[in-house]
Structure 1
Amino acid sequence: MATDRHSGRRAAVLGSPIAHSLSPVLHRAAYAELGLRDWTYDRFEIDEAALPEFIRQLGPEWAGLSLTMPLKRAIIPLLDEISGTAASVEAVNTVVFTDDGRKVGDNTDIPGMVGALREHGIEQVDSAAILGAGATASSALAALAQICTGVVVAYVRSDARAAEMRQWGERLDVEVRTADWTDAKEALSAPLVIATTPAGATDHLAAAITEYPATLFDVLYDPWPTTLAAGWLAAGGVVVGGLDLLVHQAALQVETMTGFSAVPREVMRIQGKLALEGNIA
């Protein structure tokens, strides 16, 4: 017999490392606002080796999972189906368990990026720049496939990374040109700059911010603001941050796991900010 979708369900975020994850704060805030008092959302330190057994032992009370690194690709062979969005970047960050026991993978990072940009008034751009070439950069390309009408220039550190980004561009039908990381300051004049690099990697670019910067999307959220984001704001530019992305992608996860469509994004954002400030656990 199928479990009542709105009664006593479980969800969690898996990854390694996982202690820093804000997902429990965001999802629990949504559950409380939606009246899902008996829903739980936890975090589990799970690596690639432990993932198959963890998935195997899950019972019918489970509604879904959030996946972070290094599991976004490792989960794919364990699923019954993945969405076209997830397939486009070979990355799953969301698993929903259906009433008939199937495990369905999706990717909310990509529509989360689009949603975060649209919230800040960015509906379409005629070109863009990406700083970095890791997994988040491929999701950024997939998001740009929906809103960028022209060329995307990716600033990378190696020929191998450059080749990967061009391949992703071909796959996603985005015109990608690559440039060396040493020229990254040239990115700052683009209508939209998406920084996908680790903390500290773009700090040196703050001194090169143009007089009238357009929009920066920095996917980091801790520490915040980054040096680049702070300089961008000071120069009068628009900044979209990592917490914006987290809230939008988490809200989409809550929607698919619970079936509720009116997910309280602003409540989730407030709780996320409080957690980053150390005011809630």
Structure 2
Amino acid sequence: MTTIRRAAVLGSPISHSLSPVLHRAAYAELGLTHWTYDRFEVDEAGLAEFMAGLDPTWAGLSLTMPLKRAVIPLLDSISETASSVEAVNTVVLTEDGRRTGDNTDIPGMVAALRERGVEKVESAAVLGAGATASSALAALSKICAGPVTAYVRSPERAREMRGWGERLGVDVRIADWAEAGGALSAPLVVATTPAGTTDALAAAVPERPGTLFDVLYDPWPTHLAAAWSRSCGAVVSGLDLLAHQALLQIGQFTGIYSTSIETLRGAGMEALRLRSDRGRICE
């Protein structure tokens, strides 16, 4: 008798997550008919209780906000990558009860950039200073030879980014958000801000832009990404990141590392298309 194996994504809010679409597409490609992947609305207050209720059929968890740091005290160990940014987005659950945390966002960012031909840059700019920005700095520590300028809105955020830079070995320089238009001349620009935040920057895209990595995927394209593409600049999307980090998660959960990145990205694109179609119908 085949044992059911379970995995899921947790977070709050979680209804928008594309992770079930991507993971289920991978399981189908791999013939893992006994695997399931669901989503659960879980906040920080409910995380310990949820994890206490997991039985040996569970293989792994994907975590989104606000759980990436809240989960750390509940784990037996975390990887060096996760420790570097104090954020876990992947929990591997073994049948003997061990819980190991990892961060696939960071190598996922590096892989998504490499796929677009970005192996090394001399400098970079980061728009924003939230949780995703620290992962961006960790990824940039592997590919950026020179300084990273972070565009932030407050002295507190500036201190945080400087602190992450010191911890990760990145030469972080701070600029005020009011000067963010100047970021767009960098060879690599990483936008880590919520939807709509960078819309006003679209008019400032240079004639010959470098590479934009915009971590959003819904709605897509953002105004900034659309303007970047019109100027013939390379664009890496949040869906590229989601697919690459999910690829790594699937390997850790199942032990199989042969899923096609195009399978994951294609499933995500189709899901976003259907969302867009439903939105038009409802208007």
Q: Normalising by structure 1, report the TM-score.
A: 0.97
User: Using the alignment, how far apart are the partners of 1:122 and 1:64 within structure 2?
Assistant: 31
CA contact (8 A) 2:134 2:164 kept: yes
Give the 3-state SS of the residue equivalent to 1:49 in structure 2.
Answer: helix
Query: Which of the residues 151, 159, 162 maps onto 1:163?
Result: 159
Secondary structure (helix, strand or coil) at the match of 1:267 reads helix
Post-superposition Cα deviations, 1:37-79, rounded to whole Å, max 9, x if no partner, equal: 1100000000011100100110000000000000000100000
- Per the alignment, residue 251 of structure 1 pairs with 247
Secondary structure at 1:43's aligned position in 2? strand
Aligned to 1:100: 96
Of the three residues 221, 243, 247, the one matched with 1:225 is: 221
Answer with 260-269 or 176-185: which moved more: 260-269
Q: Which moved more, 1:150-159 or 1:258-267?
A: 258-267
Q: What's the TM-score, normalizing by structure 2?
A: 0.96
Q: What one-letter code is carried by the residue in structure 2 that aligns with 1:278?
A: L
Q: Which runs of 5+ in 2 are unaligned?
A: 279-283
Aligned residues of 1:188 and 1:210 also touching (Cα < 8 A): yes
One-letter code of the match for 2:92?
Answer: V
In the alignment of these two chains, the number of paired residues is 277
| 1:239 equivalent in alignment to 2:235 | yes
Supply the distance in 2 between the matched residues of 1:7 and 1:272 (Cα, whole angstroms): 28
Distance 1:167 1:54 in 2: 33
What residue number does 1:51 align with? 47
Tell me if the contact between 1:131 and 1:195 (Cα under 8 Å) persists in the aligned partners: yes
The alignment-based identity, stated in percent, is 70
**Contact 2:57–2:95 (Cα < 8 Å) also in 1:** no
Runs of 4+ in structure 1 over 4 Å off: none
Specify the alignment match of 1:34 in structure 2: 30
Q: Aligned residue for 2:260? A: 264
Aligned to 1:16: 12
Native 8 Å contact 2:56 2:94 kept in 1:
no
Partner of 1:69: 65
The letter of the residue matching 1:22 is L
Distance in 2, matches of 1:101 and 1:15, equals 22
Q: How far apart are residue 259 of structure 1 and its match? A: 0.3
Tell me whether 28-37 or 261-270 shows the greater mean CA deviation.
261-270
Quote how far apart the aligned CAs of 1:100 are: 2.4
> For the Cα contact (< 8 Å) 1:65–1:95, is it kept in 2?
yes
How many Å separate the matches in 2 of 1:261 and 1:44? 25
1:114 aligns with 2:82: no
**Larger fraction in helix:** 2
Cross-structure match for 1:203: 199
The aligned residue for residue 133 of structure 1 is 129
Counterpart contact for 1:7–1:36, Cα < 8 Å: no
Q: Residue 7 of structure 1: CA displacement?
A: 4.4
Partner of 2:270: 274
* Kept in 2: contact 1:13–1:66 (CA 8 A): yes
CA distance in 2, matches of 1:226, 1:29: 26
Kept after mapping to 1: 8 A contact 2:188/2:211: yes
Residue of structure 2 in register with 1:193 after alignment: 189
> Per-residue displacement from partner, 1:108-157 (whole Å, max 9, x unpaired)?
00000000000000000010000000000000000000000000000000
Aligned mates of 1:186, 1:105 — CA distance in 2: 37
Q: For 2:95 and 2:255, how far apart are their aligned partners in 1?
A: 12
CA RMSD of aligned residues (A): 1.4
Range with bigger deviation, 270-279 or 124-133: 270-279
Instruction: Give distance in 1, aligned partners of 2:173 and 2:255.
Output: 40
Give the letter aligned to residue 101 of structure 1: G
Q: Is the 8 A contact 2:129 2:152 kept in 1?
A: yes
Q: Deviation of residue 99 (structure 1)?
A: 3.4
1:87 corresponding residue in structure 2: 83
